[in-house]
Amino acid sequence: MKDYFKEIKEAKVILRKKSKDYKKNFQKIEQFIKAEVNEIKHLKQNKQQIIPEISFKDLNTNNNSKVIDQIKRRGCVVIRDVFEDNQISQWNKDIEEYIEKNNYYEKQKEKAGLDNYFSNLKSGKPQIFGLYWSKTQVRIRQSNELDIVKKWINHLWKFKYSEYQVFDPAKELIYADRVRRREPGDSTLGLSPHCDAGSIERWIESNYQKIYDKIFSDQFENYDPFDAKFREKTDLIKSPAVSNTFRTFQGWTALTKQGPTDGTLQLIPIAKGMAYVLTRALLDDVPENELCGSLPARALSANNQYHKLLLEGLVSIPVMNPGDTVWWHPDIIHAVEDNHLGKGYSNVVYIGSMPLCEKNLDYAKKQANSFLKGESPPDFAAENYETNFIGRATLDDLTSLGKKQLALEDWK
């Protein structure tokens, strides 16, 4: 095991040196965050929209500059009515049938020896399913609708440079992820505020240091979170909890209606919020070999001890209807409400955006093997539930687009 404590200490020396005065630099960033948080609180109090929204049918019209500015500021967006209600409701039923016909619940108990694990839940049922290759998931992933959405959100990034192009925004790959079916009354699934795609790496890893250079070197106002350069090169500490791909956005598609208090997603909708976390860790009250609670091979932590101001900006996303989608930038701190107090199942399929670049293609090629065998993808625990599942998606279910997205056919 590497000596991460030593690496953290060394990184702090390097990062502090980038600034004329790292304390003043933090204070400047703190002022910015304060203003953002105040605005979020004000909007919340007045029940005004905080997370930018756009309707699917408006994506490629010409008057979107205002909402695009908002997305770049907030680092997230809700895209409404991507799929027809009837279609989604059918897909939701299909996946339910897939789970029941294949005795998922029984198999899960056997496999993990989890008989008592969910015992604090009335039904004892899991809320997150280690399923990746149901026809529902595959159909949504390879849909023309999501192809349009992902091209649009990928274009929010700056990806072209004189030296090279970081990714191709029009060519998507699939990052196969799981399914959430959260039942009313569930209190097992809450997630505290965190960020994926690297924890201590954001300070110690050389490409992350380049990505965040402007933040550390007193040029916070010129830092652009949507500048993709070096993001496809970061090297993350290997762990089952960490995705080692470059996703331009994490996201999910709603299969059922769900709103605040239904155990839904929460976001801190400040695209530059990471700057606060990064520079806060350099202050003198943080032990020299620590980074405000962030640990290797885990999600990046946002906590009350060090990030109280930022956490005041945490808001639940608005009511999502079946067929709506939500997307958030990889630096956006997010959480899941502890309790589902609503009456219906809140079901989603996790589908983010992973455009074509070398790093993502490498992953997609390995993942293609998992698809063909029905196994769990390389980033996830090797539960391999679906190898013998009836009704699993196979090569025959893939369109030409679907094959390209799974690296089973070359992108031309």
Q: Give the pair of three-digit tokens for residue 168.
A: 């191709």
Question: Of 53, 57, 107, nearest to 82 (Cα)?
Answer: 57
Which residue's Cβ lies closest to Fe ion? 196
Q: How far apart are CA 336 and CA 314, in angstroms?
A: 11
Among 36, 53, 183, 196, binds Fe ion (CB under 5 A): 196
User: Among the candidate windows 196-204, 209-217, 302-310, 385-393, which touches Fe ion by CB under 5 A?
Assistant: 196-204
Q: How far is the CB of 404 from Fe ion (least distance, A)?
A: 27
H or E segment to which residue 403 belongs: helix 400-405
Classify burial at 326, counting beta carbons within 10 Å of its beta carbon; exposed 0-12, middle 13-18, buried 19 or more. Answer: buried
Residues numbered 47 to 86 that lie near Fe ion (CB under 5 A) are none
Residues numbered 297 to 316 that lie near Fe ion (CB under 5 A) are none
Q: How far is the CB of 77 from Fe ion (least distance, A)?
A: 17
H or E segment to which residue 327 belongs: strand 325-328
**CB 309, CB 237: distance < 8 Å:** no
User: Among the candidate windows 19-27, 169-177, 194-202, 288-296, which touches Fe ion by CB under 5 A?
Assistant: 194-202
Using CB under 5 A as the binding criterion, the count of chain residues that bind Fe ion stands at: 1
Based on CB atoms, which residue is closest to Fe ion, 12 or 180? Answer: 180
Classify burial at 338, counting beta carbons within 10 Å of its beta carbon; exposed 0-12, middle 13-18, buried 19 or more. Answer: middle
Examine residue 337 and tell whether it contacts Fe ion (CB under 5 A): no
Q: How far apart are CA 117 and CA 366, in angstroms?
A: 31
User: Among the candidate windows 6-14, 190-198, 214-222, 384-392, which touches Fe ion by CB under 5 A?
Assistant: 190-198
Q: How far is the CB of 182 from Fe ion (least distance, A)?
A: 15
Q: How far is the CB of 231 from Fe ion (least distance, A)?
A: 17
Residue type, 346: S
Q: How far is the CB of 276 from Fe ion (least distance, A)?
A: 18
Q: How far apart are CA 399 and CA 374, in angstroms?
A: 18
Based on CB atoms, which residue is closest to Fe ion, 300 or 368? Answer: 300
Binding footprint of Fe ion on the chain (CB under 5 A): 196
